[in-house]
Amino acid sequence: MISVRGKVRWKPKSAAKSAACTFAVLAGLLGLGSAHATGTAAGTTINNRATVNYSVGGTAQTAIESSPTGNSNAGVGNGVSTAFLVDRRVLFTVAEVSGNATSVNPGQNDRVTAFTVTNNTNAAEGFALSASNLSGTVLFTQTDNFDMNALRVFVDNPGAGGTAGVYDAAFDTATNINTLAIDSSVTVFIVANTPPSAGNNSYANVRLRGQAAVAGTNGATLEVANTTGDNPAAVDVLFGDTGNDGIETADDQYAVQSASLTIQKTSSIISDPFNGAGPNRLAVPGAVMEYVVTITNNGAVSATGVQIQDALDANLTFATGQFNSGASDVQIVVAGGPPSFCVAESGADTNGDGCSRAGQTLTVNPTAGITVASGGAAQAAVIRFRVTIK
C-alpha cells in the first residue's frame, strides 16, 4: 500500500513573490488598502504553482509541482499552464474644479471653466474630450437659458511653460488626452465666447465629456470592452466607470454678470437777466440753465469707460466757466465723492482732459475714465453743465 502524507501547499516561484503574496493575504484579512486604488497593473502575469509532498513506506519522495512545469509522476501535473494576464479595468472620473459658476460679461470671448480628469484605471489611458451646451438644465440652482458660442476643449500643459491649472493659449493646445498615467490627474479647460445678446443674470450650462481611449492615440482609438469571455493570454478590457460605458461627464455654468445702466437728465434755472438767481427766475431768453445727467448702475458689475455725449438744442449756447471758481465748464461727481472738473473746448481737446465740443455736441470722456460701480444711486455718476437760452 502506498501512503501519502503531508499537506498540499501553494508555493510561489520566488521569495519576493512569497512576501508579496503574504502581504496581500494579510491586507485582505486586516482590511488594509493597497498602494494604488487601481490595484494590480494590467498586463501583469499571474503565475502560481501547487506543490505536493508525500511519502511512500515512510520514505519521503520527490515533490511534484503543478503546471506550468508539471510532473507526470502518478498522473499528477499535466504541464498545462495556469498563468494569466491581469486585465484592464477602465475607471476614471471627470470633475468640475471650482464648485461655482464662472462669471462672464456680454460679448466677452475666451472665457474659461476648468475640470479635472483622473485616471484610476490599472493602466495608462488616453481620453477623447468634447464640450457641449446643456439647454434647460439646472445647475447651482440656476436654469440654463442661453448657449455659449464657439465651445473648445484644451488640455493643461504646464510642463511646456504655462502655469498649472491656468489656461494658457500659447501652451495648452492639445484637444484630447494622449496618455494619462495610473493614479494621476490633468486639468482640462472649456473655452467659450459669450454672445453679445446675453443679458444680465443669464446662465449657460456646459458639459465636458471624456471617453476612454487607447493610450498614445490622442483620443482617436476608443477603448472597446471585452464581450467574448476572458482570454488568459491577452489583456482584456472591462469598463468599471459609472455607466460601464467608458464615458464620464461633468457640468459647469457660465453666469452673465453685467452692468445695467440707467440715465436721467434734469434741468433747472440758475438765473435770468431780470431776476438774477432770485426765486422768480424764469426760463426766458438769456437765462442760464443747468443740466444734470445722472448715470446709475443697477447691474451686477461695474461699468467702465463711461462717456456722455449730449447734442444741445439749436436754441441753446454752451455756457463756459461755470464751475471750479470759473476755471472749468463741467463738474463730475462719482459715488458722492469729491468733484472733478474739465474744460469743454470748442473743437479739439487741446488740454487732453477728455471734454470738448463739436458744434452743438458736448462730449464728456475724462482721461481717467468714469467708472460706475453697481449699487444703484449710492454709486451713481452725476455730470453737471450749463447752457444759455438764446
Domain boundary among 56, 86, 116: 86
Q: What is the pLDDT of residues 364-380, one digit of tens each?
A: 998 878 999 999 999 99
Q: Which of 2-11, 324-333, 348-357 has the lowest mean pLDDT?
A: 2-11
Give the amino acid at 161. Answer: G
Q: What is the mean pLDDT of residues 273-293?
A: 97
The band of 151, judged by pLDDT with boundaries at 50, 70 and 90, is: very high
| Of residues 89, 83, 141, the one with CA closest to residue 119 | 89
Most confident among 12-21, 273-282, 368-377 (mean pLDDT):
273-282
146 and 245 co-located in one domain: yes
81 and 97 co-located in one domain: no
Q: What is the pLDDT of residues 194-223, one digit of tens each?
A: 999 998 889 999 999 999 999 999 999 999
Is residue 49 a contact partner of residue 66, using CB atoms and an 8 Å limit? yes
d(CA 269, CA 206) in angstroms, rounded, equals: 56
| pLDDT over 70 percentage in the chain | 87
What are residue 363's DSSP bridge partners? Answer: 309, 356
296 and 223 co-located in one domain: no
The answer to whether residue 4 sits within a structural domain is no
Q: What is the pLDDT of residues 27-46, one digit of tens each?
A: 333 333 333 457 898 888 88
177 and 247 co-located in one domain: yes
The answer to whether residue 296 sits within a structural domain is yes
Residue 299 has pLDDT above 60, yes or no: yes
Residue 13 has pLDDT above 60, yes or no: no
The alpha-helical segments, DSSP class H, found in the chain are 15-30
The answer to whether residue 1 sits within a structural domain is no
DSSP strand pairing (9-11 vs 102-104): unpaired
pLDDT in the model for residue 37: 56
pLDDT in the model for residue 21: 37
User: Residue 135: which CATH number?
Assistant: 2.60.40.10
214 and 346 co-located in one domain: no
Residue 4 has pLDDT above 70, yes or no: no
Tell me 322's DSSP state: -
Number of Cβ within 10 Å of residue 123's Cβ equals 20
The answer to whether residue 2 sits within a structural domain is no
What are residue 118's DSSP bridge partners? Answer: 93, 185
Domain boundary among 35, 67, 86: 86
The band of 1, judged by pLDDT with boundaries at 50, 70 and 90, is: very low
108 and 75 co-located in one domain: no
User: Residue 311: which CATH number?
Assistant: 2.60.40
Domain boundary among 86, 111, 128: 86
d(CA 376, CA 298) in angstroms, rounded, equals: 5
* Residues ≥6 apart with Cβ < 8 Å to 212: 90, 92, 121, 125, 126, 127, 222, 223, 239, 241, 246, 247
Domain of 339 in residue numbering reads as 261-389
The answer to whether residue 242 sits within a structural domain is yes
Gyration radius from the chain CA atoms: 39
Q: What is the mean pLDDT of residues 41-70?
A: 83
Concatenated DSSP letters of 338-353: --EEE--EESS-TT-S
Residue 227 has pLDDT above 90, yes or no: no
Q: What is the mean pLDDT of residues 134-148?
A: 92
Residue 264 has pLDDT above 70, yes or no: yes
371 and 279 co-located in one domain: yes
74 and 105 co-located in one domain: no
The answer to whether residue 3 sits within a structural domain is no
What is the domain count for the chain?
3
Is residue 284 a contact partner of residue 250, using CB atoms and an 8 Å limit? no
pLDDT in the model for residue 17: 35
Residue 9 has pLDDT above 80, yes or no: no
Provide the mean pLDDT of the chain: 87
The band of 80, judged by pLDDT with boundaries at 50, 70 and 90, is: low
pLDDT in the model for residue 47: 82
* Residues ≥6 apart with Cβ < 8 Å to 66: 49, 50, 51, 76, 77, 82
Is residue 246 a contact partner of residue 239, using CB atoms and an 8 Å limit? yes
Q: What is the pLDDT of residues 178-197, one digit of tens each?
A: 999 999 999 999 999 999 99
The answer to whether residue 16 sits within a structural domain is yes
Is residue 370 a contact partner of residue 379, using CB atoms and an 8 Å limit? no
Residue 247 has pLDDT above 80, yes or no: yes
167 and 185 co-located in one domain: yes
d(CA 109, CA 58) in angstroms, rounded, equals: 89
Q: What is the mean pLDDT of residues 257-276?
A: 95
The band of 67, judged by pLDDT with boundaries at 50, 70 and 90, is: low
Q: Which of 25-29, 133-137, 140-144, 340-344 has the lowest mean pLDDT?
A: 25-29
DSSP-derived 3-state class of residue 331: strand
94 and 224 co-located in one domain: yes
236 and 267 co-located in one domain: no
Residue 177 has pLDDT above 80, yes or no: yes
pLDDT in the model for residue 106: 92
d(CA 23, CA 41) in angstroms, rounded, equals: 17
Cell 502506498 identifies what position?
Answer: 2
The answer to whether residue 156 sits within a structural domain is yes
Residue 48 has pLDDT above 60, yes or no: yes
252 and 128 co-located in one domain: yes
Is residue 207 a contact partner of residue 219, using CB atoms and an 8 Å limit? no
